[in-house]
Structure 1
Amino acid sequence: MKLTFYKYQGTGNDFVVLDNRSGDISLTQEQVAFLCDRRKGVGADGLMLLQLKEGYDFEMVYYNADGRPSSMCGNGGRCLVAFAQFLGVVQEEAYFIASDGPHQAYLKDGLVHLQMIDVHHVEELENACFLNTGSPHYVQQVAALQELDVFAEGRAVRYSDRFKAEGTNVNFVEHLPGNKLFVRTYERGVEDETFSCGTGVTAAALAASRSGYQSPVNIKVLGGQLQVSFEKDGNSFKNVFLIGPAEQVFKGEITL
C-alpha cells in the first residue's frame, strides 16, 4: 500500500497526517507505530486521519506514536484544522468531531484558535493536581524546570500505582513573571518528553488560574510559544481556547 502523507508541527509537537476523506485508509497498530518511528519510519509524536463525518466539517482520528488510538491532542487538533484549510475543506472556521466531542476552531493572523472542552473538576493531590482537558493531566509546580529530569520524573508518575493502568500525561510547570508559564510534559503513548503538549499547557493554565493567573496565559514550551484563554466560573472553566501556530513541514509518499 502506497500512502501520500503530510508532516505537520505545532510548537515542535509533530504529526503524520493523512487525508482519509475517501475512507480507503485502514492502518494496523504496527503500521501506525512504524510511520511514527523516528529511525525506521517518517517520525512523529502521533498520527492523524482527516475523515468525513455527517454534521461536521471533518472528523479527527488520532493515534499515539505507539500505534494505539488516543484521547484528544490539542496541538494535533490545531494542525488538523490547518490541514483542512490546506485541502479546502474549511476556510477561516471549522467545526469538527474528535474523541472527546465536538470542537470549534478558527484561523486568524497565522494562528489556530482551538476551543477545548469545558472543565468542571480539578482534583487536588499532594503537591499537584489532576484534571482532564480532553486527555488526563497531572500538573505539578516546580522551580528550575530547565534542569529537571522530565523523563525520569514524569515516567515515575505515569507508572505509579494510581496511573499505571490507564496512564496519564505529566506536566511540570514553572511560574514566570508577567502571567507566563514554562511547561514541560511527559506524554503517555509517546512515553517520553515532547517539545509541546496542547492539552497539557491547557491543563497547566487552568491550574495556574487558581494561583492568580489571568486569561489569557502565555506559555513557553520547548518548541515555542502558546497561549490559553478561558472563562473561570468558580471551580469550572468554559470557553477554553488553545492558541498557537501550525505548520506544514513537508509532503511525501511511503509504501507499507
Structure 2
Amino acid sequence: MPEIPFTKGHGTGNDFVIVADPEGELDLTPEQVAALCDRHFGIGADGLLRVVRSRAIGEGRSALAEDADAEWFMDYRNADGSVAEMCGNGVRVFARYVLDTGLATLDPAAALPIGTRGGVKRVTRSDAGFEVDLGRWRAEDGDPLVRAKGLDVARPGMGVDLGNPHVVVALASDGELEELDLGVVPVIDPAPAHGANVEFVVPQDPLVTGGVGHLRMRVFERGVGETLSCGTGTVAAALAVRSWAGANAPSEWRVEVPGGTLGVRMFSDEDGERVALSGPATLVFSGTVALA
C-alpha cells in the first residue's frame, strides 16, 4: 500500500489530518478519508484538510477569480469522507500549516487569502493565534424545530448560513447543556436539504461583561458527530444570541466550547456586516500513513 506524509493539528480540540498535495495529484476517496479519520483504526480526526494549490483543483479556480493571491486551497472533508464547504477552525489550522512549513508567509500587518468552497477567507495574526474573516452571513428563513436526546420537547432554532449551514438552539441552563446526549443525531424539522450543523447554546449570566458577550456551546457537526469545537458554529451561535438579545447586544463575543474559548467579532464594511473568528491553531505531530 502506498504511504503518504501527514500532520495532525487542531483548533480548540477540533482536530484534523493535514495532507500536503500541492499539485493536486492525490485523489483521496471518501472511504480513504474516513479510514484516515477513524479514531480506532486510523489517525483519528474530525476531518481532513488537503493542502492544494488553487490552480490545481477545479473549485480553486473560483477562488483565484475572487482573489488572484489565493494561492492555496483548503480541500476540506468531514470525518465520514463527505465534502464540506467550510470550517472556521480548519482555516486557522490550515494557515498554521502552510506558514510553519514555509509554503506561505504572512507579515504582521498582512492577510493570507485561503481558497475554500465557501469563498476566499483571509487570515491575520492575532493575540489568540489567528483571526479569520469569514465574510458576510445570512439568517435563514423559517422556524426549524430541533429534537435531541436529553431534551424533553423539541426546541425552536435559528438557521444561519456562513458558507455552510447551521441551526442554533437556545437552552435554559448549563444543566440542560450538560445533559444532552449528542451521541444521537439531533433531528431538524423540516430537514435541511443538505443537512446542517446544530449548535446548542446557553447565554451566561451576566451576558455582557466589559462590552463582551459570553455564552457556552456544544455542537453536533454533520458528517462527524459531536466535536470539541466548531469555528463557524461558534460564529453562528454568537450571531443567534446577539439577535435574540436585541438592539443593545454587543458585537464582540467570547464563546466557551468543550475544547477551549474562541472569539467572535462582528464589524461593518461598505457592503454590510462581516464576521471574524479568532483562536489558537496547533500542529501536534507528523508521520507517514499507509493508504488502503
Task: Provide the TM-score with structure 2 as the length reference.
Answer: 0.80
Residue 118 of structure 2: aligned partner: 100
Alpha-carbon displacement from aligned partner over 1:167-196 (angstroms, at most 9, x marks no partner):
111110100123101011011000x21100
Going from structure 1 to structure 2, the CA distance change for 1:109 and 1:36 (only over 3 Å counts) comes to: same
1:78 CA drift (Å): 1.0
Determine the C-alpha separation between the residues in 1 that align with 2:95 and 2:9.
11
Judge conservation of contact 2:186–2:198 (CA < 8 Å) in 1. no
Determine the C-alpha separation between the residues in 1 that align with 2:221 and 2:128.
27
Among 135, 138, 163, the residue aligned to 2:167: 138
Going from structure 1 to structure 2, the CA distance change for 1:184 and 1:237 (only over 3 Å counts) comes to: farther
Determine the C-alpha separation between the residues in 2 that align with 1:161 and 1:138.
11
**Secondary structure in structure 1 of the residue aligned to 2:139:** coil
The alignment status of 1:51 with 2:47, answered yes or no, reads no
Among 218, 221, 229, the residue aligned to 1:184: 218
Residue 278 of structure 2: aligned partner: 243
Judge conservation of contact 2:3–2:290 (CA < 8 Å) in 1. yes
**Percent identity between the two aligned chains:** 36
Judge conservation of contact 1:57–1:94 (CA < 8 Å) in 2. no
Determine the C-alpha separation between the residues in 2 that align with 1:241 and 1:59.
19
The alignment status of 1:166 with 2:194, answered yes or no, reads yes
The alignment status of 1:156 with 2:182, answered yes or no, reads no
Determine the C-alpha separation between the residues in 2 that align with 1:156 and 1:202.
20
**Secondary structure in structure 2 of the residue aligned to 1:80:** helix
Alignment of 1:1-150 (within 5 A): 1-54=2-55, 55=68, 56-92=70-106, 93-123=111-141, 125=143, 127-145=156-174, 146-150=177-181
Judge conservation of contact 1:186–1:193 (CA < 8 Å) in 2. yes
Alpha-carbon displacement from aligned partner over 1:26-53 (angstroms, at most 9, x marks no partner):
1111100000000000000000111112
Determine the C-alpha separation between the residues in 2 that align with 1:167 and 1:217.
26
1:71 CA drift (Å): 1.7
**Secondary structure in structure 1 of the residue aligned to 2:267:** strand
Structure 2 residue identity aligned to 1:227:
G
Structure 2 residue identity aligned to 1:4:
P
1:122 CA drift (Å): 4.1
1:124 CA drift (Å): 5.1
Task: Provide the TM-score with structure 1 as the length reference.
Answer: 0.91
Structure 1 residue identity aligned to 2:200:
F
1:134 CA drift (Å): 1.9
Going from structure 1 to structure 2, the CA distance change for 1:110 and 1:201 (only over 3 Å counts) comes to: closer
Structure 2 residue identity aligned to 1:196:
S
Structure 1: runs of 5 or more not aligned: none
Judge conservation of contact 1:60–1:80 (CA < 8 Å) in 2. yes
Whichever of the two has the greater Rg, that structure is: 2
**Secondary structure in structure 2 of the residue aligned to 1:155:** coil
Going from structure 1 to structure 2, the CA distance change for 1:222 and 1:20 (only over 3 Å counts) comes to: same
Judge conservation of contact 1:6–1:248 (CA < 8 Å) in 2. yes
Structure 1 residue identity aligned to 2:255:
I
Among 198, 204, 226, the residue aligned to 2:237: 204
Structure 2: runs of 5 or more not aligned: 56-67, 146-155
The alignment status of 1:221 with 2:240, answered yes or no, reads no
1:219 CA drift (Å): 0.5
